[in-house]
Chain A
Amino acid sequence: MDKLQTRNFIAARVAKEFKDNDVVNLGIGLPTLVANFLPSDITINLQSENGLIGLGPKPNEVNFDRDITNAGGQPVTLLEGGMYFDSTLSFSIIRGGHVDVTVLGSLQVDETGSLANWIIPGKMIPGMGGAMDLVTGAKKVIIAMTHTNKGKPKILKACTLPLTAKNQVNMIVTEMGVMAIKEDGIHLMEYNPEYTIEEIKNATEANLIVNEPIKMKVEV
């Protein structure tokens, strides 16, 4: 798989996690692609922390409106039934447990469910934006990312970068597999048959608990 295929593969698998009427927040980058794979038989309420629910696809020349943007400042559209609100209500929704699933990218995740994705000291200081509130408040936190950074493991025993939140991640989806983070560590629930279990373990610094995982089924 090339880079785009890998990203689409991960995004398509994440999209299968949603249930009818879920309120979902998708982060910037790879998680944004999840919107392209939402199941058509259920209703998903996409929330954007800058102040809307009912996030629709990118506008065309006809329905472009400079006053409708997503949290990355990019132009979007609003679906029927959607609405706008201010930042305090937006974060009442987020911190108050009214978001069912949040999907974010990450630089590192560890076996206690802690994650680091907002700062590389001395190198990159983008800030946390809404990420800390999202992972703290959402009922389910899914990390969607490539399994390694050019071969360097990102799924670790313990994060080394400053944390975004402690013990909040429930699931990791990568091009190699689907992992659930439980009390006793990271369980490989599904694996991509393009890789052997041994290869997946080698690409993971954290101890991977492998107990009859099933094959990942993704149609991109």
Chain B
Amino acid sequence: MKKLLDINNLKDHVFDGMSIMVGGFMVVGTPEFIIDELVNIGVKDLTLICNDAGLPGKGIAKLITNGQVKTLIASHIGLNPEAGQLMSAGKMECILIPQGTLAERIRAGGAGLGGILTPTGIGTIVEEGKQIINTNGKDFILELPLRADLAILEGTTVDEYGNVVYTKTTRNFNPVMATATDQVIVGAREIVKRIDPDNVMTPHIFVDYVIKEEL
């Protein structure tokens, strides 16, 4: 399998100051074993884009605790109290974005769009400093696309070409993030010969590397 990457070689694909999108929702759909390796490597000054801040001791919370995160872009950090403390103490920049806007900004980044117009956040501090555009008599906020250097995703089943299926609620942000970064690394629970073409959720053209999780 051409795209197979040894976890020990992950270090060749990361660098200080890089931006990384991490799939998962409260750690469900986050490839924990790849996060552990990022902690081992110690790559720092990261900008992470993730739905949330993980849970204490789980998911990207490990990178936050280890002081590797400079900026976190997320929709909800309430279930990881440390993230809020670091934010309040000025030790980590934290940019909070409505969850649907986060998803749609990533989609715009991957789909070649110049931005999206959303009613979410109108009349709140979310609209501050942003362009308001009125279409058909209704106000929308212009939200700009989001992209990153790398995506780290969890695929449940990956085939030898790199096609991906995500099971149940592990899917969440994984497929959209696969479209919006320069490099995509998928942590695979299982590698099979072929996935039924009708069932592919992320086409292999988006996937650069697959790391097999040792179960």
Contacts and interface: CB of A to CB of B under 8 A. Distances in A.
Interface of A: 48-52, 65-69, 71-73, 78, 84-88, 90-91, 94-95, 114, 122, 124-133, 136-137, 162-167
Given A69-B28, A127-B76, A162-B125, A87 B168 contact: no
Given A88-B104, A127-B75, A127-B76, A65 B168 contact: yes
18 contacts: A50-B28, A67-B156, A67-B168, A73-B25, A86-B176, A87-B176, A126-B77, A127-B96, A128-B126, A129-B75, A129-B78, A129-B99, A130-B98, A132-B98, A132-B120, A136-B119, A136-B122, A165-B124
B103 A85 contact: no
B197 to A, nearest CB: 19
A88 B99 CA distance: 10
Interface string B57-73: 00000000000000000
A166 B123 contact: yes
Interface in B63-98: 74-79, 84, 87-88, 94, 96, 98
A133 B176 contact: no
B171 A86 contact: yes
Contacts of B125: 162-163
A130 B100 contact: yes
A137 B119 CA distance: 8
Interface of B: 25-28, 51-52, 55, 74-79, 84, 87-88, 94, 96, 98-101, 103-104, 107, 118-126, 156, 166-176, 201
B132 to A, nearest CB: 13
B26 A73 contact: yes
Contacts of A114: 123
B99 A163 contact: no
B168 A95 contact: no
A130 B119 contact: no
A67 B124 contact: no
B84 A133 contact: no
Contacts of B201: 86
Minimum-distance CB pairs A-B, first 3: A126-B78, A73-B26, A166-B123
B25 A125 contact: no
B172 A51 contact: yes
A125 B84 contact: yes
Contact of B99 (A65, A78, A91, A164): A91
Contacts of A87: 25, 51, 99, 103, 172-173, 176
Given A91-B104, A164-B124, 18 more contacts: A67-B169, A68-B168, A69-B169, A73-B79, A86-B172, A87-B25, A88-B103, A90-B172, A95-B119, A114-B123, A125-B96, A128-B96, A128-B126, A132-B120, A136-B122, A163-B124, A166-B122, A166-B123
Q: Which of A48, A125, A164 has the most CB of B within 10 A?
A: A125
Nearest to A130: B99
B121 A132 contact: yes
Contacts of B77: 125-127
Contacts of A68: 168-169
A133 B123 contact: no
